[in-house]
Amino acid sequence: MVNIGFIKMGNLGMSQVINLIQDEIAAREGIKVRVFGTGAKMNPEEAAETESFKEFNADFVVMISPNAAAPGPSAARELWKDVPCIVISDGPTKKDARQALEDAGFGYIILPVDPLIGAKREFLDPVEMASFNSDALKVLSLCGVVRLIQEEFDKVTEQAASGKAGKELELPHIFAKPEKCVEYAGFSNPYAKAKALAALHMAEKVAQVNFPACFMLKDIEQVCLAAAAGHEIMGAAAGLATQAREIEKSNDTVFRQPHAKDGRLLKKVKLFEKPQ
């Protein structure tokens, strides 16, 4: 049995399903998943509380949060440095900072396409928050990001199941730019692939629009306009992702990759064929 722990600090679009993608129909054998969440907050106080999760004795841990360089996630990594740990975050995007994570023994999948939300009280309420995250997840799921992460997690799980442990585990070190993500989506139609790539580029742009709204602008009209614009881009990106999926559906070429009970990845394309 491979124990996989997920530590969620704060929230990314990917946070919603990160702990579900290895067992999508709750039928997989050989893995046990547990989650420790700190809600929307990701301060050093929340980081300290994650230590109680060590009772689960995870073979490896996935730590997901916005901005892995922030004080809270950094403090959490210090507590978990002796456990194989894969960092999932929207940053750091600089090569030197990513190299520092690798040198410290951490795996990582950095997702600049998982966008910063317009987190200002003047604009964001629970409904807007949920709507934005649903749009973000639409892009992440249909444009290749979910499958990229699924495959990388499965590689580590397979190693652990074979008897490897601790520093023997080979962890991923991936900077998931749009061009890399879309290759995992399995599109057969080039126009569908182009729409998906456009959606990923738009998702990456959202953070650049929302960052000033969150941290720089003070005038309420400027704050609200910038945040609203960022959220409109995210909605448009979700629309493109849906269009890409619809093209594949119309051709009966949607690529699916479910797990078998033993964790093997099966494949199918035609709707009425059996996964093999």
What mean pLDDT value characterizes the chain? 97
pLDDT band at residue 165 using 50, 70 and 90 as cut-offs: very high
Show the domain range for 197.
Answer: 186-250
Q: What is the pLDDT of residue 82?
A: 96
Tell whether 223 is covered by a domain. Answer: yes
- What backbone phi and psi angles, to 5 degrees, belong to 93? -100, -15
Q: What is the pLDDT of residue 39?
A: 97
Are 154 and 233 in a shared domain? no
pLDDT tens by residue, 188-228: 999 999 999 999 999 999 999 999 999 999 999 999 999 99
For the stretch 152-180, what's the b/e string if a residue is b when 16 or more beta carbons lie within 10 angstroms of its beta carbon? bbbebbebbeeeeeeeebebbbbebbbee
Residue where a domain stops, chosen among 130, 164, 180: 180
Are 235 and 164 in a shared domain? no
CATH number for the domain spanning 68: value is 3.40.50.10830
Task: Compute the distance between CA of residue 115 and CA of residue 203 in angstroms, rounded to an integer.
Answer: 6
* Mean pLDDT within 59-69: 97
Output the DSSP codes for the chain: -EEEEEEE-S--GGGGTTTTTTSTTS---SEEEEEEE-TT--SHHHHHHGGGGGGG--SEEEEE-S-TTSHHHHHHHHHTTTS-EEEEES---SHHHHHHHHHTT-EEEE-TTSPPP---TTT--HHHHHHHHHHHHHHHHHTTHHHHHHHHHHHHHHHHHTT--GGGS---EEE--HHHHHTTS---SHHHHHHHHHHHHHHHHHHHHHHHHHHT--SHHHHHHHHHHHHHHHHHHHHHHHHHHHHHHHTT---B-PBPTTSPBP-B-STTSPP-
pLDDT band at residue 171 using 50, 70 and 90 as cut-offs: very high
pLDDT band at residue 78 using 50, 70 and 90 as cut-offs: very high
Are 202 and 100 in a shared domain? no
pTM: 0.96
pLDDT band at residue 54 using 50, 70 and 90 as cut-offs: very high
Tell whether 258 is covered by a domain. Answer: no
pLDDT tens by residue, 96-133: 999 999 999 999 999 999 999 999 999 999 999 999 99
Are 234 and 151 in a shared domain? no
Are 72 and 10 in a shared domain? yes
Tell whether 58 is covered by a domain. Answer: yes
pLDDT band at residue 230 using 50, 70 and 90 as cut-offs: very high
Q: What is the pLDDT of residue 10?
A: 97
pLDDT band at residue 149 using 50, 70 and 90 as cut-offs: very high
Question: How many CB atoms sit inside 10 A of residue 66's CB?
Answer: 21
Are 94 and 227 in a shared domain? no
Are 51 and 37 in a shared domain? yes
Domain count, the chain: 2
Tell whether 171 is covered by a domain. Answer: yes
Q: What is the pLDDT of residue 231?
A: 98
